[in-house]
Amino acid sequence: MRKIVFNTIKYLSFFAIGILIFWLLYRKIEWQELVGAIKGLKYFWLIVSVCLGMLSQISRSLRWKMLISPMGYDPSLRNTFLSVLVLYFVNLIIPRAGEVARCTVLARTDKIPFTKLVGTVFIERLADVVMLFILALIIFATNVSIVVKFFELHPAVMTNLQKFVSLKYLLLLAGIIVLAVFVLILLRNSLKKSKKKGRLVELRNQFIDGIKSIIHMKKKWLFIGHTVFIFLMWLVMLYVIFLAYGPTQNLSLRAGMVVFLMGGLGMLAPIQGGIGPWHFMVAETLLLYGIQKEQALIFALVAHTTTNLIYIVVGGLALLILILKYGNTTIRLRSASNNSRS
């Protein structure tokens, strides 16, 4: 109970910080100006952005099926897609709980061992991190001057980012990995004398099977293709919102790439949906391209709201469909939350 209370306070505290940042950014925006900007949007491009977002989620669902298939399971694309939508819905409520939620959904709808699914998600996230790193390097290499200028204007942001890549944290990460390997070795040895040896060994093997699915997966280039496609859709779905808003409609795709990168850095903050930090990073980046501050903030609000509102709607519908079809066999948010905290 103490742990639950602590995590609840922690999540609420981070959310409160995000709301505070959001309020500080938007407190001087005139309501009539905001309403006028929203009325003047070209909603066709917002619809295109939503469609691109859905395409990325379909691609993510297909990629996940590719990892699951080598283990001898064939989940339906419908259930896989719905579980991916639930992932984003839950993450907007409980940070980091989405991955547990989608594994819980598919484990119960398609009778796949939960631990095996966790192993496949580990591979997925590893692929995402590698792809994001490559994309970030490309964006930085092709827009060095503008990125450097941003950090010169916001040295505090650079200081915080350096904490993620400092030698101290890299050594800490290495230590955690070494400790994890050491614990696994001890666990393996203790299992030989444990009464619960069979069950623990089974869980360990299931997780390893999930990780090893990448080795036995066919069409590995297709897996890479899906990974590239997912990130391209995320990039383009942000860029087309430029076209929906008058002050940003003449910005180039390169500008969209930089805004995508800086917004992604804002998402590193442990705040639900990146509310506050994402708006700050995007708006401050747009200032470097000559967009007025009020207009930059309005764009950030429109882009963030469009994406997250859609995930709330479609994710909520996905959860409702699963509940209606599978009843109590589907996901429970409280269970996902507790698993993510552990």
The predicted structure's pLDDT at residue 340: 45
Non-local (6+) Cβ contacts of 291 within 8 A are 247, 248, 251, 299
Q: Do residues 299 and 248 lie in contact, with contact meaning Cβ atoms separated by under 8 Å?
A: yes
CB atoms inside a 10 Å sphere around CB 32: 8
- AA letter at 143: N
The kind and range of the H/E element at 72 are none
pLDDT at residue number 341: 44
Helices within 197-248 (DSSP H only): 197-216, 220-244
**What is the per-residue DSSP string for 150-180?**
HHHH-HHHHHHHHHHHSHHHHHHHHHHHHHH
Q: Name the domain count of the chain.
A: 1
Using CB atoms within 10 A of its CB, is residue 20 exposed (0-12), middle (13-18) or buried (19+)?
Answer: exposed
- Residue matched to tokens 């409280």: 334
Per-residue pLDDT at 97: 78
- Please tell me the predicted confidence (pLDDT) of residue 79: 92
Asked whether the beta carbons of 191 and 200 are under 8 A apart, the reply is: yes
Q: Which pLDDT does position 291 carry in this prediction?
A: 93
Res 120: pLDDT: 87
* pTM metric for this prediction: 0.79
- Domain containing 34 equals 2-341
- Can you give the pLDDT of all 342 residues of the chain as single tens digits? 666 667 677 777 878 888 888 898 888 888 888 899 999 999 999 999 999 999 999 999 999 999 998 888 889 999 999 999 998 888 888 777 788 888 889 999 989 888 888 888 888 888 888 898 899 899 989 998 888 888 888 776 666 655 555 544 555 555 555 555 555 555 555 555 554 555 555 665 666 666 667 777 788 899 999 999 999 999 999 999 999 999 999 999 999 999 999 998 888 777 877 888 899 999 999 999 999 999 999 999 999 999 888 889 999 999 899 888 887 544 454 444 444 444
Query: What's the CA angle centered on 306, arms 305 and 307, to 5 degrees?
Result: 95
Q: How many CA atoms lie within 13 A of 317 on its CB side?
A: 6
Q: What is the pLDDT of residue 152?
A: 81
pLDDT at 175: 54
